[in-house]
Structure 1
């Protein structure tokens, strides 16, 4: 797989970031889930869930798929929320800065086709509820990327595992001089942790 050059350099940056021991403990639950699926030779479905499915869950869907592909592991990476909004344009701009090629279809809540390699199909992203028909209806892990969704969705139909992997919301920096920096910081953190997860999987 030939990653786009800018993206390759950011992946190298992400791999060099230290991960605190308490975060490794959080991520171990996801590692164990994926490893079990690999050991059983079963399909791996991850649905990253946050309230509006606009920032953190979108970053996680994208980086989850890229990190898995980077380490030669085949997964289905989805995202969803409890409300439909849109893939936030600030988050879209961040992944473009990271070297992803992005095309857009529609208005309001457009579909984005996110390319990370000319050898791979694009990741298709748009804001949707977690049980949208575009997502796996059952046999998936619900990876809860924000505290609000985690605390307000006590039951996710069809999920066979529920794994909290919470991130701080870059929305807090919208319309400030630190906006781009903080979106990129959060994206890089998620990239780092997803790359760590899939680096631990024994095939």
Structure 2
């Protein structure tokens, strides 16, 4: 794992006080569900879902892959993302990831290119915007983690999900093209990373989830 990304993971471990008790309860329940999936299938499949699959859900997918590696669970976790409609991975999201030491390349063009997001010399994940039911995502027995209120309210049923967890975050899109843009995108990416690492640490330690 790249040193800068590992440093962020260790920073998250020192910031658990920034996660509210209410949110920890949800993340503990998700950790328990992850362990149940691993016990049942040998692997837990997580799909992070928001409306456009361009910002928050990608942050969730990327950090889930990173946290799985950081906590020694990479063979037991598969991370995906999707939306209720297709757009593209937003340039501001890419910039925030690069600021956090991810290395990002793309060998495709068009309105919705695929990006290879590296977090180690031989560690990477592919990201592009897609609906959560895309052929590259699991179709059943997965855990759905909803990162925006709009998707949570408009998708009362996520077909194929064994369980769903609502962990909405403020949309950084609200700050596009203003002075605070880069700051807010980075804050949101770090907030999501902190909570994903907390969840994965609880699963890895197999504590009592309380």
TM over 0.5: yes
Unpaired segments ≥5 residues, structure 2: none
Q: CA deviation at 1:13?
A: 2.3
Cα distance between partner residues in 1 of 2:41 and 2:96: 35
Q: CA deviation at 1:41?
A: 5.1
Q: How many residues align?
A: 200
- Of stretches 152-161 and 44-53 in structure 1, the one that deviates more from structure 2 is 152-161
Q: CA deviation at 1:106?
A: 1.9
Name 2:31's counterpart in structure 1. Answer: 31
Cα distance between partner residues in 1 of 2:64 and 2:81: 10
- Of stretches 149-158 and 5-14 in structure 1, the one that deviates more from structure 2 is 5-14
Tell me, yes or no, if structure 1 residue 118 matches structure 2 residue 121. yes
- Of stretches 52-61 and 26-35 in structure 1, the one that deviates more from structure 2 is 26-35
Unpaired segments ≥5 residues, structure 1: none
- Of stretches 89-98 and 32-41 in structure 1, the one that deviates more from structure 2 is 32-41
RMSD between superposed Cα atoms in Å: 1.3
SS at match of 1:38: helix
Tell me, yes or no, if structure 1 residue 90 matches structure 2 residue 88. no
Asked if 1 retains the 8 angstrom alpha-carbon contact of 2:6 and 2:70, the reply is no
Name 1:108's counterpart in structure 2. Answer: 111
Name 1:150's counterpart in structure 2. Answer: 152
CA offset digits 1:12-38 (Å, max 9, x no partner): 222222222111012122111112123
Tell me, yes or no, if structure 1 residue 76 matches structure 2 residue 78. yes
Q: Counterparts in 2 of 1:9-28, with a 5 A limit?
A: 9-17=7-15, 18=17, 19-28=19-28
SS at match of 2:115: strand
SS at match of 1:200: helix
Match of 1:192 among 186, 191, 194: 194
Name 1:182's counterpart in structure 2. Answer: 184
Match of 2:2 among 4, 7, 13: 4
Q: TM (normalized to structure 2)?
A: 0.91
Cα distance between partner residues in 1 of 2:110 and 2:13: 35
